[in-house]
Amino acid sequence: MRGLERYAEAEPLLREAIAGIEQLTDGEHVVLPTLQSNLALLVGARGELDEAEALLRAALARQRELRGEQDSSTNSTKYNLGELLQRRGRLNEAEPLLREALQFARANEGDRSLSTLTMWNTTALLVRSLGKLDEALELAREGFETSRSELGDAHPLTATFADTLGLVHSRAGRHAEAEPLFRSALAGLAATHGEEHAYVRQVQHHLATSLRTLGRRAEAEPLARASYEALVREVGSAHRDSALAGNLLATLWFELGRLDEAQELWTELAQGQRESAGGGTPELATVLGNLGALLRSKSDFARAEPVLRELLALRLTLNGERAPETFEAQHNLGGCLRRSGRPEEALGLYRQAYAGRIELLGREHDLSLYSQTGLALTLILLRQEEEAQALLVELLASLRKTPGRLPDLAREAASALRDLYRTRHEREPAAGFDARAAELEREWLGGR
């Protein structure tokens, strides 16, 4: 029944079997840990991850006691626990379990077995997620070639390895190399499982992501839409996977100029995440950030402000006060308030973002310079001209070191400083501010 995904029918039968064997044997029968491990897979499949983990840990401890470390049942449970921890994002806990399971399988079952190849693929994905891209590339490439040699190009496990290898390339920024691998995986899995299978939709999402990065948004959009719509049908709009797929689709719509559609979808995704997970997920933070950016691009600051305030509160909870994501949220909310005509509220946010980015990234990092500009513009609105002038002069000196760097920011800063000099010239005509303004016009703004 598990193979047919009839989990609701299989689970009570398995629980009944475990209870019966425990009663007859006082919980000592050697088969009980294996049954507990199987039950954990059913429980995990319906999303009860805490119970699944507890079952797997109990089963593994008992198998080690009864059978020892060098046993295939022990190794299978070890792998299942590692895979579950990987799904839960606890990669450092998962890593030793998956590595040990793969090592045992290769030594005892050989590289050709389906069990070994499955563990191989999972371990390659884990290593990729840990950012060990050279090792992940070697693992995925070797596994892919082994699967092609032993199982053939048409086997679904070969297609799975193609997807994994594509993910490694895309993580390393090699999207042109990832694309044909994703297309191969998509064709192989669709031929085996059909177009509507969840894994097929997942690979569509991977391919759409790479196509977007390659600038081919019109090709990416139908893939992203098909993936999102299938996930909504299968697991609902509030599920994490649906949120990720929907975010990609909304991003493509935004970049294709379909702003109203993007706004509607991001709004729906945000509400779904608030309701399903109590509003505390990284996926909600991503969606709020994108929705806020869209509303700011439309100069709809009245709607943007509550979105950005919610995002900042969430970033403080998820990431803490000294995280780059928090500084970005402070910067963006400050910009919204400044452009809404409320510079006195924006000032503190800009100061926090600027100080934090300097401390974390350095004074001349691009993001530090953006916050420096925002802070200076806010100070001008508040008539704190001396500090604003010093910040803008310092910023242009930084940009002058690398001609052509951040040209839009340079023009914005130079224009603001020129106008500040002109204003000060009107009050202090003998101080030479008119000459400084003219010099800025010639150097940065194309004046004569």
Measure CA of the first residue to CA of the last residue in the chain; give whole Å.
80
pLDDT at 132 over 50: yes
Residue 176 maps to a domain: yes
**Judgement on whether residues 60 and 27 belong to the same structural domain of the protein:** yes
Q: Of the candidates 193, 218, 236, which is a domain's last residue?
A: 193
Alpha helices in 152-174 (DSSP H): 156-171
Residue 336 maps to a domain: no
Range in 48-52, 188-192, 314-318, 441-445 with the lowest mean pLDDT: 48-52
The total number of structural domains in the chain stands at: 2
* Burial class of residue 324, CB neighbours in 10 A (0-12, 13-18, 19+): middle
Containing structural domain, residue 50 = 1-82+93-104
**Judgement on whether residues 153 and 100 belong to the same structural domain of the protein:** no
Residue in the structure block whose two tokens are 């490694």:
168
pLDDT at 208 over 70: yes
Percent of the chain, pLDDT > 90?
Answer: 79
Element at 128 (helix H, strand E): helix 114-129
**DSSP for residue 342:** -
CB 331 within 8 A of CB 315: no
**Judgement on whether residues 144 and 189 belong to the same structural domain of the protein:** yes
**Judgement on whether residues 100 and 139 belong to the same structural domain of the protein:** no
**pLDDT at residue 220, as a whole number:** 98
Residue 140 maps to a domain: yes
**Judgement on whether residues 12 and 97 belong to the same structural domain of the protein:** yes
> For residues 332 and 326, what is the distance between their CA atoms, to the nearest angstrom?
10
Range in 247-251, 259-263, 271-275, 286-290 with the lowest mean pLDDT: 271-275
pLDDT at 279 over 70: no
**Judgement on whether residues 46 and 137 belong to the same structural domain of the protein:** no
> For residues 291 and 251, what is the distance between their CA atoms, to the nearest angstrom?
9
Residue 125 maps to a domain: yes
Number of residues in the chain: 448
**pLDDT at residue 3, as a whole number:** 41
Residue 31 maps to a domain: yes
**pLDDT at residue 4, as a whole number:** 36
**Judgement on whether residues 72 and 160 belong to the same structural domain of the protein:** no
> For residues 34 and 71, what is the distance between their CA atoms, to the nearest angstrom?
12
**Judgement on whether residues 1 and 99 belong to the same structural domain of the protein:** yes
Q: Of the candidates 136, 163, 193, which is a domain's last residue?
A: 193
**pLDDT at residue 14, as a whole number:** 78
Pick the closest to residue 234 from 245, 247, 218 (CA basis).
Answer: 245
Residue 323 maps to a domain: no
**DSSP for residue 216:** -
**Judgement on whether residues 124 and 174 belong to the same structural domain of the protein:** yes
**Judgement on whether residues 153 and 99 belong to the same structural domain of the protein:** no
pLDDT at 146 over 50: yes
**DSSP for residue 155:** S
Averaged pLDDT, 292-320: 97
Range in 67-71, 162-166, 256-260, 365-369 with the lowest mean pLDDT: 67-71
**DSSP for residue 4:** T
CA dihedral 309, 310, 311, 312 (to 10 degrees): 50
Please tell me the chain's helix, strand, coil percentages from 3-state DSSP, rounded to the nearest 5: 80, 0, 20
Q: Of the candidates 148, 177, 193, which is a domain's last residue?
A: 193
Averaged pLDDT, 297-306: 97
pLDDT at 370 over 70: yes
The tens digit of pLDDT for each residue in 101-123 reads: 999 999 999 999 999 999 999 99
The tens digit of pLDDT for each residue in 19-30 reads: 777 777 766 666
Percent of the chain, pLDDT > 70?
Answer: 96
Residue 401 maps to a domain: no
CA dihedral 171, 175, 181, 182 (to 10 degrees): 80
- The CATH number for 140's domain is 1.25.40.10
**Judgement on whether residues 54 and 126 belong to the same structural domain of the protein:** no
Residue 46 maps to a domain: yes
**Judgement on whether residues 99 and 123 belong to the same structural domain of the protein:** no
- The phi-psi region of residue 215 (left if phi > 0; otherwise alpha if psi is between -120 and 50; otherwise beta) is left
Read out DSSP for 277-303?
HTT--HHHHHHHHHHHHHHHHTT-HHH
**pLDDT at residue 29, as a whole number:** 66
**pLDDT at residue 2, as a whole number:** 36
pTM (2 d.p.): 0.84
> For residues 414 and 410, what is the distance between their CA atoms, to the nearest angstrom?
6
> For residues 314 and 324, what is the distance between their CA atoms, to the nearest angstrom?
13
pLDDT band for position 8 (cuts 50, 70, 90): low
- Give strand ranges (E) for 213-281: none
Arithmetic mean of pLDDT over the chain: 93
CB 402 within 8 A of CB 441: no
CA dihedral sign of residues 4, 6, 11, 12: negative
